[in-house]
Amino acid sequence: MTSTASRLRGFTSISDLRTALAAARSKRKSVALVPTMGALHEGHLRLIDRAREAADIVVMSIFVNPLQFGAGEDFSKYPRDLAADTQLAADRGVDILFAPDRKEMYPEEPLITVHSGHIGEVWEGESRPGHFEGVLTVVAKLFNIVEPDTAVFGQKDLQQLAVVRAMVRDLAFPIEIIAEPTVRDEDGLALSSRNRYLSPEDRAAARTLPRALSTMLERFNTGTPAAAAIESAGRDVLDTAKNLTCDYLAVIDPVNFQSVETAVAGCAAIGAVRVGKTRLIDNIIFT
Ligand code: AMP
């Protein structure tokens, strides 16, 4: 166990963490979990704020989960800075930081994993086969380790939120899932640990993704319900960027992630693009 600030306690061992949480629970303390892969930014820190409102004890996990990265993806290059993250988490009021290494989480390649079903096979799931199976397996494991009353996720990863909600419902995890809105930079780009890979030119191109999504929302709000017309307006914006390829841009039902023909309030525009070697996702919910 390490201690870097007045309140934060850090754990790398599942059994030590369980002992600490059992002691808290015996005092009838409620627990909120914020699962992350680290390289913390303000988007992650807002999840901590929300977790603080929801429970007595805030647990943040930091684990770059190999299961959710495909071959050729950025697992080995994913930014890692546990010392800086620990300081940020402590300053924002995390009580317990759980940062296991790979051996602690997966002493063996897991034989049993959680399948995401059809919601996890489209869009991100199609572009990144096995991604959501990796996400759900680690989230289920973290839920079993921490046994939180609530867990807080960002709407930035809208499809992840949908598959986690489906898992909680279908496998009866007694956990309330809270979603927090996407935190953006001043230029509209959603905060992401991967933004640090972007050169200034890349960043200018990346900004067209939130612009495209805002244009789609505007189209919907000015009376165009046809998804094809909304999508085409978004694509026109993406087409203005150099050095950007669109993986997908679509209007979907955010519960089952199927495309819709006619948009209604509550639908979402989702998009994924590649800028240079960086892949970015974003979404906007129609209100
Ligand atoms: P990650 O570390 O990328 O796995 O993200 C951990 C959690 O932070 C997930 O629930 C994400 O949806 C959430 N998150 C990441 N970026 C943002 C953002 N810009 N705004 C709000 N939540 C975010």
The pTM score is 0.96
- Report how far residue 135's alpha carbon sits from residue 160's, in angstroms, rounded to the nearest whole number: 8
**In the chain, what percentage of residues exceed pLDDT 90?**
96
Please give the number of the atom of ligand 1 that sits closest to the Cα of 152.
Answer: 10
The residue whose CA is least distant from atom 14 of ligand 1 is 154
For residue 224, the CA-to-ligand 1 centroid distance in Å is: 31
Per annotation, catalytic residue among 41, 44, 115, 118: 44
Cβ pair 162, 257 in contact under 8 A: yes
The residue whose CA is least distant from atom 10 of ligand 1 is 153
What count of residues does the chain have? Answer: 287
For residue 153, the CA-to-ligand 1 centroid distance in Å is: 7
- Report how far residue 106's alpha carbon sits from residue 100's, in angstroms, rounded to the nearest whole number: 10
For residue 155, the CA-to-ligand 1 centroid distance in Å is: 8
Cβ pair 136, 120 in contact under 8 A: yes
Please give the number of the atom of ligand 1 that sits closest to the Cα of 190.
Answer: 19
Average pLDDT over residues 281-286: 98
Query: For residue 6, what pLDDT is reported?
Result: 55
- Who lines ligand 1 at CB under 6 A? 36-37, 43-44, 47, 153-154, 156-157, 180, 182-183, 190-193
Average pLDDT over residues 228-236: 98
The residue whose CA is least distant from atom 12 of ligand 1 is 154
Query: For residue 269, what pLDDT is reported?
Result: 98
The residue whose CA is least distant from atom 6 of ligand 1 is 36
Reported as a single tens digit per residue, the pLDDT across 151-164 is: 999 999 999 999 99
Is pLDDT above 80 for 5? no
Which of 34, 47, 81 for a ligand 1 pocket mutation test, highest count of atoms within 8 Å of Cβ? 47
Which of 68, 150, 157 for a ligand 1 pocket mutation test, highest count of atoms within 8 Å of Cβ? 157
- Report how far residue 128's alpha carbon sits from residue 65's, in angstroms, rounded to the nearest whole number: 14
Cβ pair 128, 85 in contact under 8 A: no
For residue 27, the CA-to-ligand 1 centroid distance in Å is: 30
The residue whose CA is least distant from atom 22 of ligand 1 is 154
Reported as a single tens digit per residue, the pLDDT across 99-115 is: 999 999 999 999 999 99
Average pLDDT over residues 25-43: 98
Reported as a single tens digit per residue, the pLDDT across 64-80 is: 999 999 999 999 999 99
Cβ pair 155, 182 in contact under 8 A: yes
44 is annotated as an active-site residue: yes
